[in-house]
Structure 1
Amino acid sequence: MVDMSREEFEEAVSDALDLVPEELAAQMDNVVIFVEDEAPADAPDLLGVYDGVPLTERDFGWAAGSLPDRITIFRNPTLAICESREEVVEEVTITVIHEIAHHFGIDDERLHELGWA
């Protein structure tokens, strides 16, 4: 397990977000990114999760005043599977991109095909 402060981990998440192409970042709509220390008790090994309505499923019934979609990146499960800070940065980047892809309506099967899952 890698020892990394919450601040350092949040910086890795921020750096991963900076890698998202500007054209894609500009299209992200009503979504916020969080860092939590622990994954849910029913999925303790989860590295990240997207909770919301993907852009591809939003229609006229989806209200602009809706609560934001949430992407949560889990710190401790990520640190537990990594052996170096470099590996943490790489895993955080993969997880952030993976969850953003869900916001754009890309499912796990397609992510596997693309090599992102």
Structure 2
Amino acid sequence: MTRHIGSTPTTADFEALAHAAFARIPEPFAEHLDGITVHVQEFADAETLAAVGLQDPFQLTGLYHGRPMSEESVWISGQFPPRITLYRQPLLAEWRATGVQLDDLVTHVVIHEVGHHFGLSDEEMHALEQGGP
């Protein structure tokens, strides 16, 4: 989705972009994504921001909620299924500030959060993005 004069992308638009990003994830990774849900909120709440060490709600564009696959066990029960939350207003602000296409931006955030599902840290994902080990 490119920038255009007209209406601001809605929650439904963001959900559609997130689902399109999931559809582009190749096997063997895609087979491990069943059950992950996507939610869109305007901003992260104060509790969520504090939990990730942020104060400015515009600094958080997405968040993975759940246990990484590497920590899953048949002995753990009573937990919600994993989910990814996209924060619409910070994503819109980044989209407008950077000129990156919105679908590319949402895909980047979704892939980053999926990385957490596989147990990767932020540092490991940044290294992979930079082509490092």
User: Per the shorter chain, which TM-score range?
Assistant: 0.7 to 0.9
Higher relative contact order (CA 8 A, sep 6+): 1
**Contact conserved, 1:39 with 1:77, CA < 8 A, in 2?**
no
1:9 corresponding residue in structure 2: 14
1:79 corresponding residue in structure 2: 92
The CA RMSD over aligned residues, in Å, is 2.2
Match of 1:39 among 41, 44, 51: 44
2:97 maps to 1:97: no
Match of 1:20 among 22, 25, 29: 25
TM-score (norm 2): 0.73
- Among all aligned residue pairs of Structure 1 and Structure 2, give the percentage whose two residues are the same amino acid: 35
Shift of 1:85: 7.8
| AA in 2 matched with 1:114 | L
Match of 2:66 among 42, 52, 68: 52
Number of matched pairs:
114
Q: Hey, which bits of structure 1, 4+ residues long, moved more than 4 A?
A: none
Match of 1:111 among 102, 105, 125: 125
- Runs of 5+ in structure 1 lacking a partner? none
Q: Give distance in 1, aligned partners of 2:34 and 2:67.
A: 10
| AA in 2 matched with 1:13 | A
Larger radius of gyration: 2
